[in-house]
Structure 1
Amino acid sequence: MLIRENELPGSVYFKGDERGIILFHAYTGTPNDVRMLGRYLNNQGYSVLLPLFRGHGQNIPEPILDAGPGAWHQDMEKAVAYMKQEGCKQLAAFGLSLGGIFATKMVEEYPEIIVGGGFFCSPLLIAQTETNIIPQFLYTARQQLTAIGYTAEELEEEIYRIQQELPEQLNQITAYTEEVHDELKHIKVPMMLVQAGQDKMIPPEDVYEAAKAFKNDCAKVYWYPNSGHIITIGPERKQFQEDVLQFVNQLAWKKERE
């Protein structure tokens, strides 16, 4: 169901039992990135929240650039508060790409209620200059602006403006990611590190370096050789969904005794 606009605008919630899972979407994405996984987990009894990061889910790129990691961190905190309000005593957090960075931050910040988590194809190691994020953002922006009727001249003016603003936001994301990476050594709950072998957005092999940053033998890499960056809807999605379910089923959920 869609959540009331005054709580988490544009977010989706699948009500289940007291075991809560939060799934964060990718940069420039929407909850649709993780909807199939969310529905799959909900069908197994879990309560699942798919938050919408501020600035996303619109047909123009500017709102994303007007937001940033500070706003998205607040969205993550609101998601936790919402799940508590819904009666979830324990939570697990996962995210796709950028969403995985915020899911990992959530694991770091809420050890008292987090039983596990993970990230899917997330750039936890690298600077934005080593990814294809900028060309992908510009490609998406061109598609969006063309679709709403921008002339060729207007389009080039807007793309130029985006090219000036986007690197600053990506620098902010990189700084936020570095903070998250620095705290990985303190995580003690199980972590699922998912990587697609055909990922063209980030270097796939970096997931193994990211795994080394965990010092409590809590992280395990899951490799999907035939999938691309958006692994949640890729050719191996069924195996991926089954692996996520098996992972969350093995977490230390406490049974409700009331």
Structure 2
Amino acid sequence: MPVLPGAEPYRHEGGEVGVLLCHGFTGSPQSLRPWAEYLAERGLTVSLPLLPGHGTRWEDMQVTTWEDWYAEVDRALEELLAQCRTVFVFGLSMGGALSLRLAAKHGDRIAGLVVVNPANKVHGLSAYALPVARHLVRTTKGLASDIAKEGVAEVGYDRVPLHAAHSVRKFFRIVDKELPQVTQPMVLLRSPQDHVVPPADSARILSRVSSTDVTEIVLEQSYHVATLDHDAERIFEESWAFIGRLATGVGTAKGSTSGG
């Protein structure tokens, strides 16, 4: 199945500091591509994988589970760890949850985390109906393009397969239990006007992680997909400053870029 234009995975071979970026549920690498390119331009090694079942058509996602999505980011992380001296993990929405689980599992092999509007729970009464409803109804309305900026769209699905939604609900419960194992320095950026993930998710994550070096930043001008919104440059700059504070010799090497 061909990948949607703009949804291709992205990779840049840079220096000894690497960053793994994890996109969100029903989204694609397109939502994080400008962030990835910003970091690549500064000489970092960057990996932005496409999660299985994403970036093509929603029917492909119907047959995938959280184990598939996590396995892909875990594989990409191992690749970076084998190649780089210092590795950071960044994520948006469910990608934030994937990042937190990687941090819980890999400990000090990961130097730091940056999460943007990280998801922690499937909210609403519909969440409780998922175990049964997924056998009766195939999809519900999509989540893509919650963006304040005019003329900007996210490459994502306009439908959410309920089997996949049920799986992501299970995944969030697992990650929530593992949050106390997260000890790395962390920057959490959140949008007060987020129509996909409520502020309660960020608050719970901050209350449960064991990290002592934590910075919370409020993105007043953006909705959920803040990496494509008015605050995008701020996210990029804050993450770059975070890397600069924790990794020595950043930005000294240039490399080659490849998409696809």
TM-score over 0.5 for the pair: yes
Distance 1:83 1:111 in 2: 15
**Amino acid of the structure 1 residue aligned with 2:68:** A
Distance 2:103 2:224 in 1: 23
Q: What's the counterpart of residue 242 of structure 1?
A: 237
Q: What's the counterpart of residue 190 of structure 2?
A: 195
Q: CA deviation at 1:138?
A: 9.6
Map residues 111-130 of structure 1 onto 2, 5 A cutoff: 111-124=107-120, 126-129=121-124
**Amino acid of the structure 2 residue aligned with 1:100:** G
Q: Does the C-alpha gap of structure 1 residues 91 and 135 become closer, same or farther in structure 2, counting only changes over 3 Å? A: same
Is the counterpart of residue 104 in structure 1 residue 100 in structure 2? yes
Q: What's the counterpart of residue 66 of structure 1?
A: 63
Q: Does the C-alpha gap of structure 1 residues 231 and 47 become closer, same or farther in structure 2, counting only changes over 3 Å? A: same
> Is the 2:221–2:230 Cα contact (8 Å) retained in structure 1?
yes
Distance 2:205 2:79 in 1: 30
Distance 1:128 1:95 in 2: 20
Distance 1:250 1:13 in 2: 24
Task: Identify the match of residue 25 of structure 2 among 3, 27, 42.
Answer: 27
Q: CA deviation at 1:22?
A: 0.4
Q: What's the counterpart of residue 41 of structure 2?
A: 43
Distance 1:131 1:210 in 2: 22
Q: What's the counterpart of residue 171 of structure 2?
A: 176
Q: CA deviation at 1:105?
A: 1.0
Return the TM-score normalized by structure 2. Answer: 0.77
Task: Identify the match of residue 90 of structure 1 among 86, 110, 122.
Answer: 86
> Is the 2:18–2:84 Cα contact (8 Å) retained in structure 1?
yes
**Amino acid of the structure 2 residue aligned with 1:195:** R
Q: CA deviation at 1:253?
A: 5.0
Distance 2:59 2:78 in 1: 28
* Structure 1: gaps of 5 or more residues: 1-8, 147-158
Q: Does the C-alpha gap of structure 1 residues 144 and 12 become closer, same or farther in structure 2, counting only changes over 3 Å? A: closer
Q: CA deviation at 1:134?
A: 4.5
Q: CA deviation at 1:254?
A: 8.1
Instruction: Specify the SS of the correspondent of 2:73.
Output: helix
Q: Does the C-alpha gap of structure 1 residues 253 and 202 become closer, same or farther in structure 2, counting only changes over 3 Å? A: same
Task: Give per-residue Cα distances to partners, 1:9-56, cap 9 Å, x unaligned.
Answer: 942101110111000111121111111111111122211100100111
* Structure 2: gaps of 5 or more residues: 1-6, 128-138, 146-154, 251-260
Q: What's the counterpart of residue 253 of structure 2?
A: none
Q: Which has the larger radius of gyration?
A: 1
> Is the 1:207–1:221 Cα contact (8 Å) retained in structure 2?
no
> Is the 1:193–1:220 Cα contact (8 Å) retained in structure 2?
yes
Instruction: Specify the SS of the correspondent of 2:111.
Output: strand
Distance 1:12 1:195 in 2: 24
Distance 1:185 1:130 in 2: 27
Q: CA deviation at 1:69?
A: 0.4
Distance 2:106 2:231 in 1: 31
**Amino acid of the structure 1 residue aligned with 2:72:** D
Instruction: Specify the SS of the correspondent of 2:25.
Output: coil
Task: Give per-residue Cα distances to partners, 1:90-146, cap 9 Å, x unaligned.
Answer: 21111111111111111111124210113211212x23437999432599xxx9999
Task: Identify the match of residue 141 of structure 2 among 135, 140, 148.
Answer: 135
Question: Would you say how many aligned residue pairs link Structure 1 and Structure 2?
Answer: 224
What percentage of aligned pairs have identical amino acids? 22
Distance 2:111 2:234 in 1: 22
Q: Does the C-alpha gap of structure 1 residues 138 and 118 become closer, same or farther in structure 2, counting only changes over 3 Å? A: closer
Higher helix share: 1
Is the counterpart of residue 77 in structure 1 residue 68 in structure 2? no
Distance 1:208 1:145 in 2: 28
